[in-house]
Amino acid sequence: MKILPTKDAVKKFLLSLPNSQTTVGLVPTMGALHEGHLDLVRKAKENSDIVIVSIFVNPTQFNNPDDFAKYPKTLDKDLDLLKNIGVDAVFVPDNQEVYPESPLIKIDFGDLERVLEGSFRPGHFNGVGIVVSKLLNIVKPHKAYFGQKDLQQVAVIKRLVKDLSFDVEIIVVPTVREASGLALSSRNLRLSPVQRENALVLYKSLSFAKTELLKGESWFTIKSEVENQFQQTPEVELEYFELVDSDKMTVLESLQEGISLSICTAAYVGDVRLIDNISVNH
């Protein structure tokens, strides 16, 4: 497994590949790897000749400096996991390599970023758009792999690729969960055992809401019940719980025919912010 700390190292690695027909898959991460990341790698290995994983905690997508400072960093463990699973190369740039100067460009994703994560984390998707653009330009993958847990991020990246004509296919991989239902997240490392138990309210509420919605219950009634469930869970503060168009991220108030629907939520468990979602009709 090659460790590539610079853009030039990535370029040399790509030039060393056997021929121009060699397909490259990219799995962008911020480290603190878990089984969800490894599932992305497995999918990439199934569909690409060469797999490159990037590890970079991107400061421009954090609107909360404290969240950035506390983000888990486990590079040695991450590299061992990637080596054992058979990754070909890991791009591990430092901040100066990715941002030799503060970017002047701003990316506005319109209505896609006005709701949910965008409304609670102003500037977040600008940071996501810039760093993903950089990674796609540096690695030039044929396919890039992202997890469904970050549903709004996926919608934003798909739009980025479409609007800027990146020659890459975006592959979305289903969320990996613990047996309890808790979605795997690097931030779970910061949860105490009691907080991990309390965090189950996210997935339980999503599952409850999906079941009730498909039974014909009104979204208003479902949402009121879910908000009550969160209020009764210690150390958990709900930020949002919304029914959305999975592609456009438009917030809806009832089931709609002919479009992909998801329920999305975000909540603080202690001082750890978690997100999750569930598909309603797929």
The identity of residue 39, as a single letter, is D
21 is in an annotated binding site: no
37 is catalytic: yes
Is 229 labelled a binding residue?
Answer: no
The answer to the question of whether 257 is labelled as a binding residue is: no
Residue 176 main-chain phi, psi, to 5 deg: -95, 135
Residue 206, annotated ligand binder? Answer: no
DSSP states of 28-70:
EE-S---HHHHHHHHHHHHH-SEEEEEE---GGG-S-HHHHHH
Tell whether 153 is in a known binding site.
Answer: yes
Q: Is position 44 annotated in a ligand binding site?
A: no
Per DSSP, the three-state class of 81 is helix
List, in sequence order, every residue forming a beta bridge with 27; answer none if it has no partner: 53
184 labeled binding residue: yes
Residue 79 annotated as part of some ligand binding site: no
Catalytic pick among 37, 124, 142, 282: 37
Please work out, in degrees rounded to the nearest 5, the angle formed at the alpha carbon of residue 206 by the alpha carbons of 205 and 210: 115
Q: Is 32 annotated as a binding residue?
A: yes
Do residues 67 and 105 lie in contact, with contact meaning Cβ atoms separated by under 8 Å?
no
* Binding site per annotation, positions for ATP: 30-37, 147-150, 176, 184-187
Catalytic positions are 37
Bind-site residues for beta-alanine: 61
Tell me the binding residues. 30-37, 61, 147-150, 153, 176, 184-187
Report the binding-site residues for (R)-pantoate. 61, 153
